């Protein structure tokens, strides 16, 4: 794995850590604060611009709180100063009786700015209901 790919995967993991911890400050540090930013939460219309995206994350974190989410099957494609990460999002829904761990498909776009990989776009889509995998919980803690 080359240095850029490793740094991109670290940035991707940091995104899911911020999401899991409901950490607005960490999420803000990860995103590129630009009107070009785009975020599509599962089942929702696209949000355009960092201002709208920041409001959405704050509302999600306030209403939902911490929720264990982690990426798997991450694949990186690098296009100069732009990188694409395609992965599965594994969401531990233990607070919902009988739900277990469900998955969504995500595409995360990063842009290299001043030597750091910043999130420019996040698109998450539910898998077809017939394809949803009920995984064992990540942890009993």
DSSP secondary structure letters along 19-50: HHHT-HHHHHHHB--STT-EEE-TTS--EESH
Residue linked to tokens 């290299």: 112
The CA angle 114-83-123, to the nearest 5 degrees, is 115
CA distance linking residue 8 with residue 30, whole number of Å: 11
Are the C-beta atoms of 133 and 100 separated by less than 8 Å? no
Which domains does the chain possess? Answer: 3-131 (3.10.450.50)
CA distance linking residue 34 with residue 28, whole number of Å: 12
Are the C-beta atoms of 119 and 28 separated by less than 8 Å? no
pLDDT in single tens digits along all 141 residues of the chain: 799 999 999 999 999 999 999 999 999 999 999 999 999 998 899 999 999 999 999 999 999 888 889 999 999 999 999 999 999 999 987 766 666 788 899 999 999 999 999 999 999 998 875 344 455 544 444
In three-state secondary structure terms, 117 is: strand
Q: What is the pLDDT of residue 129?
A: 56
Are the C-beta atoms of 75 and 45 separated by less than 8 Å? no
Please give the DSSP secondary-structure letter assigned to residue 140. -
């Amino acid at each position: 794995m080359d240095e850029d790919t490793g740094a991109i995967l670290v940035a991707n993991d940091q995104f899911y850590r911020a999401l899991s911890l409901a950490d607005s400050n960490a999420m803000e540090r990860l995103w590129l604060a630009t009107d070009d930013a785009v975020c599509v939460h599962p089942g929702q219309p696209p949000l355009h611009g960092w201002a709208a995206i920041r409001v959405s994350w704050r509302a999600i974190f306030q209403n939902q709180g911490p929720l264990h989410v982690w990426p798997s099957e991450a694949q990186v494609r690098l296009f100069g100063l732009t990188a694409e990460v395609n992965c599965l999002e594994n969401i531990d829904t233990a607070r919902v009786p009988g739900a277990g761990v469900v998955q969504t498909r995500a595409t995360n776009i990063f842009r290299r700015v001043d030597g750091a990989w910043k999130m420019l776009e996040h698109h998450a889509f539910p898998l077809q209901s017939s394809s949803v995998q009920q995984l064992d919980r990540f942890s009993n803690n």
